[in-house]
Structure 1
């Protein structure tokens, strides 16, 4: 299985890097359009026991208060806790051969204007000697919701899903509603989107194509919403609402997010793993 999947691993990792380049270029162009000159700071990241990636962060822009677009390809042997977590999810054979390989892109944007929603997106491929799968999704996180923004974001993701399987959007939308819920607050962290994991239909090419479609849908889903709200006047009360909502976002990512837990438990660069946290947040 290792030899068979080496070219596929290379293709997936290369595509995640290419998507990162597309998004970084689009975000820097948006900053320039808004009259700013900020660009991403690019920092290589390493994982002590195998692999690494690139952390790209833009801070203090006209549009983005903080946005990170990270890519990584990591490999090695899963620790005992990670093995148990994988076994609990139905991955076979972890006790016999706990090797793994994973590659993906992760993006989180926290915006300057409180009327422009924060957003998250990631896509990834995971491999073990016993199984492979894809996962990812995107969700919108406004502190001040506009129905037309929510509708546009969902419609774009729905179109991407339905091009591959008519059942994907309702299934993955419901999964996002469940996954991006903050139990201790009794509420969702945003207005949802799609989320999927453990996607293995038995057809690697089809599953990879769908994962590419999710990544390619991100900019058409998010950029029009962002551009629509850039000039909306914001009050002090709007900023207060934004900071409190960021507190909710931080709570979710530190307590529940599966990617955060996996990254820290497998020894990846902590700054890259915690890139998703907002630059400023507030709690009551």
Structure 2
């Protein structure tokens, strides 16, 4: 694929954010006396047209603190197929698309350390826009952690004209909801999509969302990773993980986009927890 300057800038930023996040997570493992590291696997995509369609790198680490964490970056393009194209902003009349982004999910060994999801992306159809966000998913919520996470994301929003914390926080609350269970997946965060128009302003905001995540989440992990837990806490975490898996397989738009565009199956489904229960 030949990328223009905006596409190249977005891809380069997402890859650099991946590198910084992974380095911080490995540092946490070292602090816990673990030698765990990320296993990186590159993958390529073939477009339905038969032409090369980009690809990405799936990074996974299984350690003492991070029971399973996946950090994926991808840059893909080509043609969206059939009715799916009609569901994508700006692709109804012209199914050509480009997408680059980072997606992260961490499931933790200690049930007092919240799981987390974060993604940032830049898409191009007949329109160009940024989307993304981050949300905290504690099996055993702690108010101080929830407040820290939200306050850091709010500060990132408040520093930018495109940032609208009340709307993006409500968007996350509404999106990360499991209708058939009538429960939320976690304690929220922010979710935004279709930020069009001023590329520089929207890109700067998206970058600060990534930086805010890198600021707040490792701090929360270090705060909780040595907390004592028992078998009842583990059981509660495994049951909660079942709800997380249900959401990602039934409702999550990112999962659907990856499957519909021929993405790497292991990268798409790395969001699923390593162990979950349904009682």
Give the TM interval when normalised to the shorter protein: over 0.9
Partner of 1:236: 231
| Alpha carbons of structure 1 residues 114 and 211: separation in structure 2 relative to 1, 3 Å | same
| Alpha carbons of structure 1 residues 84 and 233: separation in structure 2 relative to 1, 3 Å | same
Distance 1:143 1:283 in 2: 15
Partner of 2:255: 260
CA shift, 1:92, in A, is 4.0
Q: State the SS of the aligned residue for 2:87.
A: helix
Distance 1:145 1:165 in 2: 31
CA shift, 1:93, in A, is 5.7
Q: Which runs of 5+ in 1 are unaligned?
A: none
2:135 aligned residue (132, 136, 139): 139
Q: State the SS of the aligned residue for 1:138.
A: strand
Distance 1:78 1:147 in 2: 42
| Superposed CA offset, 1:138-162 (max 9, x none) | 0000010110000000000000110
Is 1:165 the counterpart of 2:161? The answer is yes
Distance 2:96 2:162 in 1: 35
Partner of 2:83: 81
TM-score computed with the length of structure 1 as normaliser: 0.94
CA shift, 1:81, in A, is 2.7
| Superposed CA offset, 1:124-181 (max 9, x none) | 00001x1011000000000101100000000000001100038611110000000001
| Superposed CA offset, 1:76-100 (max 9, x none) | 00011321212xxxx34633x2110
- Equivalent runs, 1:205-284 vs 2, <5 Å: 205-284=200-279
Give the 4+ runs in structure 1 shifted more than 6 A.
Answer: none
Distance 1:275 1:195 in 2: 20
- Equivalent runs, 1:130-209 vs 2, <5 Å: 130-165=126-161, 168-200=164-196, 202-209=197-204
2:105 aligned residue (102, 108, 113): 108
TM-score computed with the length of structure 2 as normaliser: 0.96
Aligned length: 274
Distance 2:31 2:90 in 1: 50
RMSD: 1.4
